[in-house]
């Protein structure tokens, strides 16, 4: 589509990733938008990614409307730690860039979803987006879904990964995903391997690790993936796809200060709005819920959208307090080589608690259960990092 639209879209979204596409899809589905425009700097919307989630992360309604984008699903998943292995009977689902693009392709064909690629965004106002060539794309309202940028108002660790989809020479033998195999060498941060079996001889092998800094040595991680496959007895016949990512893991956040630094009246969604699970980095559930909030509005105006998104961001910030505390325990209270013990202890807990943890919805009693007993980190270091406000103040003074 040419970038100089003659008609003003009801919604213009900067960023064609998961959050932006889901918001467009939902608004067009509920009918509070007749047309939506997505602007993206890349060659194609949705990039080259895999997004997974637990079925219980979403409401039945949420699962129903995104189901056309689901590429794979399994009735259970496995975890492996040095002390034990466990299978949890929780349905696990996955979508990818190709399946997401296919789900919204009819909207593009109908002319309701307009896509502009290869254009960088230089600025945003509540009803217009300025592109790199000086051209302004007008809309009745605007969303910022351009992804994560570091901020002085967040203290972060990082989840970094490289994943390869491989075809094995013989059946690999996996019937369920392995969402954490922490029996691997821990190096200088919590590390695990994640495997999604797409068919008898096709599997995604993803090496993931949590570290203090954002640097990713992709070549080194690819070597680790190859070594993992050898250790599993898998002969790789072909590598069909490689993806990588560096995701923020929030240890502490000052939302009020953050809001003062943002464009007034321009709503931030997805990673741009800090809307992801603080511990796991999963972003799809929050992207679905945010899209539903926007899609449920009677009319899309800068004020109505901004208020709806801000309310959700505040609710999310409050809900994630406990998870940011767990991250401070994970990153600041223990040695990097022993961070796996925090997750190893967690996965011994009951199935309902594990499901609620991923959903971001756990009770006070469940929080107490997670923290009770002998802590897997030194108690003094845990207490030192208990207060988010004091932690933020300390981090600011150090930087």
Tens of pLDDT along 52-61?
A: 999 999 999 9
292: tokens are 């539903």
Residues 43 and 168 in one domain: no
pLDDT on residue 382: 67
Residues 224 and 364 in one domain: no
Residues 389 and 347 in one domain: yes
Residues 314 and 261 in one domain: yes
Residues 377 and 389 in one domain: yes
Residues 25 and 39 in one domain: yes
Q: Is 347 left (phi over 0), alpha (psi -120 to 50) or beta?
A: alpha
Residues 393 and 375 in one domain: yes
Residues 298 and 330 in one domain: no
- The tens digit of pLDDT for each residue in 123-179 reads 999 999 999 989 999 999 999 999 888 888 999 999 999 999 999 999 999 999 999
pLDDT at 380 over 70: no
Residues 60 and 140 in one domain: yes
The structural domain count of the chain equals 3
Of 235, 250, 265, the residue at which a domain comes to its end is: 250
Q: Cα–Cα distances in Å, from 322 out to 251, 254, 307, 318, 359?
A: 10, 14, 25, 9, 13
Whether residue 81 is contained in a domain is answered as no
Whether residue 116 is contained in a domain is answered as yes
Cite the beta strand spans of 41-108 per DSSP E. 50-54, 70-74, 77-80, 85-88, 92-96
Query: What's the CATH number where 182 sits?
Result: 3.30.70.1990
Residues 313 and 331 in one domain: no
Q: How far apart are CA 399 and CA 395, in angstroms?
A: 6
Query: What's the CATH number where 139 sits?
Result: 3.50.50.60
Whether residue 145 is contained in a domain is answered as yes
Residue 211 domain boundaries: 154-250
Of 286, 319, 352, the residue at which a domain comes to its end is: 319
Residues 135 and 196 in one domain: no
Of 250, 270, 303, the residue at which a domain comes to its end is: 250
Helix axes 284-295, 18-30, angle to 10 degrees: 30
204: tokens are 């995604």
Whether residue 38 is contained in a domain is answered as yes
Residues 26 and 125 in one domain: yes
Planar angle of CA 301, 271, 181, nearest 5 degrees: 145
Q: How far apart are CA 311 and CA 58, in angstroms?
A: 19
Whether residue 101 is contained in a domain is answered as yes
Whether residue 276 is contained in a domain is answered as yes
pLDDT on residue 395: 82
Whether 312 and 291 have beta carbons less than 8 Å apart is answered as: no
Higher pLDDT, 29 or 371: 29
pLDDT at 2 over 50: no
Whether residue 82 is contained in a domain is answered as no
Whether residue 291 is contained in a domain is answered as yes
pLDDT on residue 139: 96
């Amino acid at each position: 589509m040419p970038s100089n639209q003659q008609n003003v879209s009801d919604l213009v979204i900067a960023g064609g990733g998961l959050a932006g596409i889901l918001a467009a899809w939902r608004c067009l589905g509920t009918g509070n938008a007749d047309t939506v425009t997505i602007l993206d700097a890349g060659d194609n919307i949705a990039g080259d990614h895999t997004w997974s989630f637990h079925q219980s992360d979403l409401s039945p309604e949420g699962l129903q409307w995104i189901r056309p984008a689901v590429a794979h699903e399994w009735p259970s998943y496995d975890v492996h730690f040095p002390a034990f292995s466990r299978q949890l009977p929780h349905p696990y689902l996955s979508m990818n860039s190709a399946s997401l693009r296919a789900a919204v392709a009819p909207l593009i064909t109908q002319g309701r979803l307009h896509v502009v690629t290869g254009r960088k965004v230089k600025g945003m106002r509540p009803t217009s987006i300025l592109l790199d060539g000086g051209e302004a794309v007008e809309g009745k309202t605007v969303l910022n879904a351009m992804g994560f940028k570091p901020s002085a108002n967040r203290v972060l660790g990082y989840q970094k990964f490289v994943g390869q989809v491989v075809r094995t020479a013989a059946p690999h033998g996996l019937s369920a995903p392995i969402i954490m195999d922490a029996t691997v060498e821990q190096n200088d941060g919590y590390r695990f391997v994640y495997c999604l079996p797409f068919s008898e001889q096709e599997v995604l092998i993803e090496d993931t690790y949590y570290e203090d800094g954002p640097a990713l040595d992709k070549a080194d991680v690819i070597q680790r993936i190859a070594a993992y496959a050898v250790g599993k007895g898998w002969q790789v016949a072909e590598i069909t796809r490689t993806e990588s990512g560096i995701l923020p893991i929030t240890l502490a956040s000052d939302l009020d200060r953050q809001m003062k630094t943002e464009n007034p009246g321009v709503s931030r969604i997805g990673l741009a709005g800090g809307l992801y699970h603080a511990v796991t980095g999963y972003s799809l559930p929050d992207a679905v819920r945010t899209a539903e909030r926007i899609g449920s509005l009677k009319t899309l105006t800068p004020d109505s959208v901004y208020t709806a998104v801000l309310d959700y961001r505040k609710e999310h910030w409050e809900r994630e307090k406990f998870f940011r505390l767990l991250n401070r325990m994970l990153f600041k209270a223990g040695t990097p080589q022993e961070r796996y013990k925090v997750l190893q202890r967690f996965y011994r807990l009951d199935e309902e608690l594990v499901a609620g943890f991923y959903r971001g919805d756990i009770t006070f009693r469940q929080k107490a259960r997670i923290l009770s007993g002998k802590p897997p980190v030194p108690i003094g270091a845990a207490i030192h990092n208990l207060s988010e406000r004091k932690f933020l103040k300390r981090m600011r003074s150090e930087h």
